[in-house]
Amino acid sequence: MNFKVGDIVSRRSYGGDILFKVIEINRSEGMALIKGIHVRLLADAPLEDLYKPESKNIHEKQEKYRGKARECVARIYKNRNMSRERQVRGGNLETFYEVPGRVLHLDGDQDYLEQCMKIYNNLNIEAQGFFILEKKQPEYVEKLLRQYQPDILVLTGHDAYLKGKKKFQDINNYRNSKYFVEAAAIARRYEPGKDNLVIFAGACQSHYEQLLAAGANFASSPQRVFIHALDPVFISERAAYTSFRRTINISEVINNTISGMDGLGGIETKGTFRFGIPKSPY
């Protein structure tokens, strides 16, 4: 089959479980570089292993992921309303204004970044987003932290545990984990306080343990599984809307993602949300 850049494909050897977009083709070697449409995975694949799914199959898979995202957003709003009532404790919510944490989001994929920025906006989170390739994130992260002074930092994009490798603890066996680790370490040197700057780092199959050791509060992927493109947003939302007086409920925040405990984890961390009073009429 004659593939071209931009085609939506699946892999025969994996049972067509994931939709990918072709981003590079090396015809002399019979290989393609493909990225997940809904999961943060970048992979090399033989052209002979790829096929173009029927439009019906594409639509069904896309709707499945959209449905999961809608469910997450609905749970978030339900939990947020309950949290508001607990924090105000009988006061009149109309007299308060909200100051959620602000997000700086660095993403190695332009498509994923645009998806994430839409959800930040839908969830009423102030976010600055930048398309920066994974290997360039260590170079730019401190400059952007100084410029935007966020409460929450997201370092994400694509990753993968390289096929044929056997040592899960070797950072060199991952496509981009070393760049996320380096960027997280630079960010943590900039702000050592784990409650002053909440960091999420990683993508599909990332080196979870090294990311946490570098200073991330939340990371992927404990079981080296794929994570959904929007999972970093759902983690950030809990950090942005949990009171600075409370520790984020790790189980709750992970359960509000699509990938769950196999794909995401973290350490005890305080939230960044504050109420203000009175609300200005202007």
The residue type at 37: I
Alpha-carbon gap, residue 23 to 55, rounded angstroms: 20
The pLDDT, as a whole number, for residue 256 is 82
The pLDDT, as a whole number, for residue 279 is 80
pTM: 0.90
Q: Which CATH fold topology does 60-276 show?
A: Rossmann fold (3.40.50)
- 222 CB-side CA count, 13 A: 11
What sign for the dihedral angle of Cα 38, 19, 8, 5?
positive
Do the Cβ atoms of 163 and 205 come closer than 8 Å? no
Do the Cβ atoms of 254 and 215 come closer than 8 Å? no
Written as tens digits, the pLDDT of the chain (282 aa) is: 688 899 999 999 888 888 999 999 998 899 999 989 888 888 899 999 999 998 888 888 888 888 888 888 888 888 777 666 666 555 566 677 889 999 999 999 999 999 999 999 999 999 999 999 999 999 999 999 999 999 999 999 999 998 888 899 999 999 999 999 999 999 999 999 999 999 999 999 999 999 999 999 999 999 999 999 999 999 999 999 999 999 999 998 898 899 999 999 999 999 999 988 888 878
Do the Cβ atoms of 198 and 269 come closer than 8 Å? yes
Task: State the average pLDDT for the chain.
Answer: 91
Side-by-side strand order, sheet with 103-107: 127-131, 103-107, 152-156, 198-201, 218-219, 265-266
